[in-house]
Structure 1
Amino acid sequence: MKLTKILTKKLTSFWLLSLAAVAFVFLLCAVMGFTQLTYTFQQQKVAELETMLVADYQQHGSNQFSTWLPPLLTAYKAVDFSLSQGPQVVYQFHHDQADTSKNSLTLYQSQLSHGKLLMSLTLPPPFSLHNLGWHELIILVIGFSSIGIFVRFGYGWYSRELDGIEQLAQRSKLILDGHLKQAADVPTNGKPRMINRAISKLLADLDDAHKERGRLDQFIRKDTFLDKQTQIGNPIFFQNRLDGLSHNQKMVAHGVLMLIEFDDVDLVEDQYGESGVKAMLSLTTEAITAALAQYTDSIFARRSYSQLVIIVPQLSQLEADQLAQRILKTCLALPFHGIGNPDNFLHLGCAFFKAADLQVQLIEEAEMALRAAQLQRVNNWFMYDKGALDEQIAKGSVRWRSFIENALVSKRFFTLQQAIVDSDNQTMHYEIFSRARDLQGNDVRATLFIPMANKCGLMPQIERQVLEQVLFRLMSYNLSVYSINLSLDSLTSRAFVRWLQSTLLEHRPLAARLIFEVSEDIIVKNQKNTSLLKTLDMLRKMGAKLAVDNVGQSVVGTHYIQEYHFDLVKLHRSIVRRVHQRSENQLFIRSLIGGLYRAEVKVIAEGVECFEEWQTLKILGVSAAQGDFLGQRSEI
């Protein structure tokens, strides 16, 4: 931690400065004491010289000075000496080899023998006459070495003691940045230990609270959208998902709707009670769920007490026939007991739909097909005869693969964009959609070629071509932010990920203007896929934002949103449709936004089609939205 490391250095520097100041004061006092002592000693020697001069002058006069005075003055290191009696100089001495500067000499003048003699003596500073010996130098070296060792030991002690505070500061910084999991994984030997243990306990409680909030969100969604007996979608869930597949009551893609009805449920309940009915329905739903496992976008719900409903979008009629036969065969193979007529208790009605077919008409056709199957008085299924099919839907897999490969080679994929508008009606960013053109120049909808591209493993090539158009064409002449959907195949393709990583490294400033969207279904089903998680982490470190879309399409927990650090959450259109009339959907949105409180995650609504929906979403706290009401898709 940079800030706390600076604090540690400041504390250590202050301690070293204080120690140095104390040492300097002691050293200064020692020097002053030594200087004062030498001056006192020199004054004592001058006083002794004066005493000897007076005694000798009183006994012998001035005749004997030249005999004993020169050696004594030389021993004193005297520079100049003069002794005079009145105007007459009695004795004078000068040392020619003295190299001491005149500015540093000390002059002593005094009257001797009651003023009869005047002595003038010039001496060098007494401390300059002292030279350090080898034993004194050894003592100094040992002293300074001891101080250095002590300082080094003190610095190490400070560092060890403050290291615990560093860890506390590091954990606190991670918590403030929202990295709670990393803060919990930091070694727990911070000091003071009481504070460290308190932080660890609070992090554990917070993690448990987040999980509990996720479990509460999932419980709310289950209680709202799941049937309690079968744990599949209830009528509200079915209607939401059906609305999500339609626009202005018209279907937006092709597929099949199936109604499954049990004729003798009342007899089973009379004989075995509610538990018998629950066991029968549970066996059936488990078998059908296993049969639908390969259809990732399929919808399975309980429409009424004795009726189940299945919707499989983007399925050809031939595949729909095969699926109906497989479901009926699977259900009839179950060990049902208590059925009044085992040969006539289960019927399946199918209605194939195309884009622009009316939703109400689709349900009527499925019910008519169900009635036709029941009129045959045997366990059977019936497909409503709709007439001629769309030529594009009827294409086989081989023809679709050939079409997609040719479109990739000739670069006949192009992009559309739709604005995402915030609550102030300002454009936040644009979402990119892909289209293809056939050889006749007709547009091919993404709902047609994407399922086939997934089956053929060509989605990474398509999404790479779309990304190249966005990076090198769109982003070169404007500063807008763009969001792009990525499939599971692309996110787990090594070649695609390497290309994307090198491209973003080469154009690093553009990465901050990209938002990569991943479906909730992909995240929930691949939470243990390390390659997927590494790719998402790489995109985030490159500076791009991450969004999870289709939230609310399935009944799952939402704890993954903060766990994988998503920046945006996009509500599925089935939650948004008629939200102003559906309190259950409003409850889900409130619960989701409440769970993301204090997290830097924005919630975006998808598929807003009227003013009432947008107003309700803003009241609920949704940050932004997209849809035909706010702006239609436009070719770039």
Structure 2
Amino acid sequence: MRKASGMKLTNRLVAFVTLIVICAIFVIFIGGAFSFRKLGQDYLTHYLDGVVEVIDQELADPQGSQSLSRWLPKLLKASNVVELEVGSNAGVVYAFKGLQPITDRSVLHNSRYELEHNPDFYVTLKSIPPYTEFTYSIGAMSSISLAVAIIILGLIWGMDWLRRQLYGSELLEHRGRMILAGRVDDNAVGDEQEWPATASLALDKMIAELKDARQERSRFDTFIRTHTFLDQLTGAANRVLFDSRLQSMLQDQETHGAVLLIRITDWDELLAEKGKEEADELIQDVGVVISNLIQRYPDTVLSRYFDAEFAILLSQQSTKEVKQFTNVLMNALDRLIPAAPLEPDNWCHIGVTFCASGERRGRVMDEADMALRSAQLQGTNSWYAFKKDQQYEDARGSVRWRTLLDTIFSNGGPILYQQPVLMLDETILHRELLARIKDENGMLIKASRFLTAVKQVGFNARMDKLVIAQALKMLKEQPVEDLISVNVSVEALLEKSFVKWLRDELLQTPRTVLNRLSFEVAEGGLVKHLDAMRPVARMLVGLGCKLVVDQAGRTIVSTHYIKDIKADYIKLHRSLVREIDQRQENQLFVRSMLGACADSDAQVIAVGVENSKEWQVLKQLGVKGGQGRYFSAEISVENSKHIAQTNGKLFRNKF
């Protein structure tokens, strides 16, 4: 894989030019030194040749040999000759040895000549090489010194000119480094000084097209999910999504709820007489009334089940609460005045049935349909509840919930369970902390049951503070390889006091601990309050924590938030994972979510994996990890140390 160079282009060119100039100066100096040496040698050889020629001529003259001792020493001394010897086969005729001290005789130049006019004679000389005793002289070397100074000044000016000319290239390179670092939005448009200008303009155009393609892909993914799971007229869920959510609830443990069917009688006659526009307007009015009333009930699913029929799934609500809601809904619908041929007092009927874990979805819908038919037999706008032997009463109102939660909080907070999230390479990504509380009788209550009450009484911030405090304490006490994930409600993060408390707590925690902590936020609330959540998400990521978006796919929203808040992990809602091997529409949704995360660093995690068939399909689709009872059951934090020792053997069998 190619990597960006760590050296700037300008620095490369400057280093290259500087090296070339220095090498050129070095070569010139070396060549000059050899030239000086060769010239000195040639000069000395030429001079000594003249001296030897004079000696040869003098020896050829019978009287000249007698005068050698008079004039030759002066000539040799002037010629820097240290020793001279004139001889023949018969012996030495004349010898000279200078008196000047020689510290290193190895530097002396040795030469031997055969005399031309005196064939049997020879001359040997030892002389001092030229320039040996010379020292640096400003006068003599001024021209060379000036040349070197000019070269250095020219090099400095040239480097400065080169840097100015390549400043635009440096800007373009810096922009490229920022883009590689993930800061594309901050460097979408380049500086006017960037060079080459064509590359800068091309980069601007490509980034703009990439942004548009990402937004178009997000819109297309949203379009796919919307047409797969939503009704186009009312914006409510369609039958596919409702059946999936109902099936998921019935397969969960310790869950109960109610299903309401609302049917508009004689809607087909209205469609035939008044036309589609008038009939659709009535459907929209009914949808608006129902949507407004279910806002106070979390985890409620509203669906346009058939053309003239709506279905509502109320989760974790008591029989009393469901009946009160049905009365309010019936009164609200009774205020609508439908157009003829619908009768104002006999056009809308509601069937109610209660359900719990373990029941079959088809039977529950049949019970709701029978209750609806019983309501129609009454001849007026009315509702009817299917009679069942098992009733789901929960008389605990908001006052009793507040009292129970106050007691829990004063005793140290909820009981924490944990469940690991496994990646494809069998490593544990983190352990998600799950809150449980005990009621007055000591029975454990899951978060899905008491979180609704926590929200109603306004205790979200208190609950989250206790869980986060316990998580930080666990991280400080446990080994450094343990990573923990905690759920934080959007309602708490919207409170400035809670965010300030959270910031102060995290600032007092070592960075090594924060790097092992992840915060999970529900997708629906995150997207609904995205502008308010964006700075909070930046704070958490900036402090070193991981950001996890939980319950992805529970509501149909745009996935553009993934790149906006730079989430690390996306956890799919368990209703999408449940029996995904049998539901093509859920597989389509997961593929769409994976496509939305393709251009980001976010990884998709499947939550609620129950069996190997689901896990195999999820791996084929491309999820990066899984969480659920298939890998490990929810374990109490107090017993986690013992369970952790056996987790390795348990997990290896799942992959």
Residue number in structure 2 paired with 1:305: 307
Give how far 1:275 is off: 1.1
2:593 is aligned with 1:589: no
Residue number in structure 2 paired with 1:274: 276
Distance between the aligned counterparts of 1:106 and 1:477, measured in 2? 81
Given that 1:251 and 1:359 are in contact with CA atoms closer than 8 Å, whether structure 2 keeps it comes out as no
Structure 2 counterpart of 1:518, from 521, 544, 559? 521
Given that 1:62 and 1:90 are in contact with CA atoms closer than 8 Å, whether structure 2 keeps it comes out as no
AA aligned opposite 2:300: S
Residue number in structure 1 paired with 2:406: 405
5+ residue gaps, structure 2: 638-655
Distance between the aligned counterparts of 1:141 and 1:334, measured in 2? 104
Q: Map 1:20-31 onto structure 2 (within 5 A).
A: 20-31=22-33
Q: Deviations over 1:306-347 (max 9, x none)?
A: 222333435567766775566556656667554644354445
Residue number in structure 2 paired with 1:507: 513
AA aligned opposite 1:503: T
Give how far 1:552 is off: 2.2
1:392 to 1:95, Cα distance in 2 relative to 1, 3 A: farther
1:59 to 1:491, Cα distance in 2 relative to 1, 3 A: farther
Given that 2:415 and 2:437 are in contact with CA atoms closer than 8 Å, whether structure 1 keeps it comes out as yes
Q: Deviations over 1:43-101 (max 9, x none)?
A: 333344456667788698478777766665554445456778986877856344x4553
Give how far 1:288 is off: 3.9
Distance between the aligned counterparts of 1:618 and 1:506, measured in 2? 32
Distance between the aligned counterparts of 2:236 and 2:286, measured in 1? 11
5+ residue gaps, structure 1: none
Give how far 1:534 is off: 0.7
1:375 to 1:425, Cα distance in 2 relative to 1, 3 A: farther
1:54 to 1:579, Cα distance in 2 relative to 1, 3 A: closer
Given that 1:253 and 1:447 are in contact with CA atoms closer than 8 Å, whether structure 2 keeps it comes out as no
Structure 2 counterpart of 1:261, from 263, 276, 287? 263
* SS of alignment partner, residue 394 of structure 1: coil
Identity of matched residues, %: 27
Distance between the aligned counterparts of 1:81 and 1:6, measured in 2? 64
1:51 to 1:318, Cα distance in 2 relative to 1, 3 A: same
Distance between the aligned counterparts of 1:520 and 1:600, measured in 2? 17
Give how far 1:438 is off: 4.0
Q: Map 1:208-219 onto structure 2 (within 5 A).
A: 208-219=212-223
AA aligned opposite 2:556: V
2:454 is aligned with 1:437: no
Distance between the aligned counterparts of 1:44 and 1:558, measured in 2? 93
* SS of alignment partner, residue 453 of structure 2: helix
Residue number in structure 1 paired with 2:236: 232
Give how far 1:577 is off: 3.5
Residue number in structure 1 paired with 2:644: none
2:108 is aligned with 1:105: yes
Aligned residues: 625
Moved more, 411-420 or 374-383: 374-383
Distance between the aligned counterparts of 1:182 and 1:355, measured in 2? 50
Residue number in structure 2 paired with 1:148: 152
AA aligned opposite 1:270: A
Give how far 1:103 is off: 1.9
1:54 to 1:247, Cα distance in 2 relative to 1, 3 A: closer
Moved more, 430-439 or 340-349: 340-349
1:132 to 1:327, Cα distance in 2 relative to 1, 3 A: same
Give how far 1:433 is off: 1.6
Distance between the aligned counterparts of 1:87 and 1:616, measured in 2? 112
Give how far 1:273 is off: 0.2
Q: Map 1:173-572 onto structure 2 (within 5 A).
A: 204-247=208-251, 252-253=255-256, 257-293=259-295, 295-314=297-316, 327=329, 337-338=339-340, 340-347=342-349, 394-396=396-398, 398-420=399-421, 430-438=431-439, 440-470=441-471, 472-473=473-474, 476=478, 482-491=484-493, 493-500=499-506, 502-503=508-509, 505-507=511-513, 511-512=515-516, 514-529=517-532, 530-538=534-542, 541-542=544-545, 544=546, 546-561=547-562, 564-572=565-573
Moved more, 70-79 or 161-170: 161-170
Given that 1:81 and 1:119 are in contact with CA atoms closer than 8 Å, whether structure 2 keeps it comes out as yes
1:135 to 1:581, Cα distance in 2 relative to 1, 3 A: same
AA aligned opposite 1:128: T
Distance between the aligned counterparts of 1:238 and 1:352, measured in 2? 16
AA aligned opposite 2:538: K
Residue number in structure 2 paired with 1:114: 117
Q: Deviations over 1:401-449 (max 9, x none)?
A: 3432332231252122345567899977644321012455332332233
Distance between the aligned counterparts of 1:89 and 1:34, measured in 2? 36
Distance between the aligned counterparts of 1:269 and 1:228, measured in 2? 18
1:596 to 1:265, Cα distance in 2 relative to 1, 3 A: same
1:67 to 1:472, Cα distance in 2 relative to 1, 3 A: same
Distance between the aligned counterparts of 2:153 and 2:453, measured in 1? 76
1:594 to 1:2, Cα distance in 2 relative to 1, 3 A: closer
Distance between the aligned counterparts of 1:79 and 1:624, measured in 2? 93
AA aligned opposite 2:509: T
Distance between the aligned counterparts of 2:112 and 2:579, measured in 1? 115
Residue number in structure 2 paired with 1:126: 130
Given that 1:343 and 1:378 are in contact with CA atoms closer than 8 Å, whether structure 2 keeps it comes out as yes
Return the structure number with greater relative CO, CA threshold 8 A, min gap 6.
1
Distance between the aligned counterparts of 1:606 and 1:3, measured in 2? 38
Give how far 1:147 is off: 2.9
Given that 2:85 and 2:92 are in contact with CA atoms closer than 8 Å, whether structure 1 keeps it comes out as no
Q: Deviations over 1:505-537 (max 9, x none)?
A: 2526xx34x554332213322332322331453
Moved more, 299-308 or 455-464: 455-464
Q: Deviations over 1:357-408 (max 9, x none)?
A: 8867865776677567667766566788999987865232x44334323322
Distance between the aligned counterparts of 1:218 and 1:537, measured in 2? 26
Normalised TM-score (structure 2): 0.76
AA aligned opposite 2:396: A
Give how far 1:461 is off: 4.1
Distance between the aligned counterparts of 1:212 and 1:27, measured in 2? 66
Give how far 1:283 is off: 3.3
Distance between the aligned counterparts of 1:504 and 1:483, measured in 2? 17
* SS of alignment partner, residue 528 of structure 1: helix
* SS of alignment partner, residue 312 of structure 2: strand
Give how far 1:263 is off: 3.3
AA aligned opposite 1:123: S
Given that 1:109 and 1:120 are in contact with CA atoms closer than 8 Å, whether structure 2 keeps it comes out as yes
1:156 to 1:383, Cα distance in 2 relative to 1, 3 A: farther
AA aligned opposite 1:220: I
* SS of alignment partner, residue 235 of structure 2: coil
Normalised TM-score (structure 1): 0.78
Distance between the aligned counterparts of 1:119 and 1:464, measured in 2? 109
Distance between the aligned counterparts of 1:617 and 1:124, measured in 2? 93
1:423 to 1:74, Cα distance in 2 relative to 1, 3 A: closer
1:217 to 1:5, Cα distance in 2 relative to 1, 3 A: closer
Distance between the aligned counterparts of 1:577 and 1:386, measured in 2? 27
Distance between the aligned counterparts of 2:439 and 2:143, measured in 1? 97
Residue number in structure 2 paired with 1:44: 46
Distance between the aligned counterparts of 1:118 and 1:228, measured in 2? 121
Residue number in structure 1 paired with 2:645: none
Given that 2:566 and 2:601 are in contact with CA atoms closer than 8 Å, whether structure 1 keeps it comes out as no
RMSD of aligned alpha carbons: 4.8
* SS of alignment partner, residue 303 of structure 1: strand
AA aligned opposite 1:528: D
* SS of alignment partner, residue 237 of structure 2: coil
* SS of alignment partner, residue 5 of structure 2: helix
Residue number in structure 1 paired with 2:647: none
Distance between the aligned counterparts of 1:142 and 1:316, measured in 2? 100
Given that 1:347 and 1:381 are in contact with CA atoms closer than 8 Å, whether structure 2 keeps it comes out as yes
